[in-house]
Amino acid sequence: MASMKAILLSTLLLLSAAAPVLAQEAEAGGIISGFAAKVLAAALAFAVAVASAGFGIARAGSAGLAASAERPEIRTVAIIISAFAEALAIYGIVISFFILGAG
């Protein structure tokens, strides 16, 4: 519970530090340029993929270790399932490179 409070407090601190930046007026050319939109989309795609991969590795890894403690013969299957979750992060970085290289 204490770590959750620390996370919430640090998030609040970071958001309050970003408030002056968000208060600035937009440039005359538009709210966001084309290159900035590409970078933002690539970063978002990679962040979601890596967060999902981390969640998948955490769930599959802990379940795989628990199962291999009971039945050691399924250790290889558990490692393969964890590798599928790791591949998700690789797909995310590939997609982000595609986004940056487009048009």
CATH H superfamily, domain 33-103: F1F0 ATP synthase subunit C (1.20.20.10)
| Short-list 89, 95, 92, CA closest to 58 | 89
**pLDDT tier for residue 23 given thresholds of 50, 70 and 90:** low
* C-alpha to C-alpha distance for 19 and 1, rounded to whole angstroms: 27
Name the residue ranges covered by the structural domains of the chain: 33-103
| pLDDT digit string, tens, across residues 35-92 | 888 999 999 999 999 999 999 999 999 999 999 999 999 999 999 999 999 999 999 9
Residue 73, both tokens: 């013969």
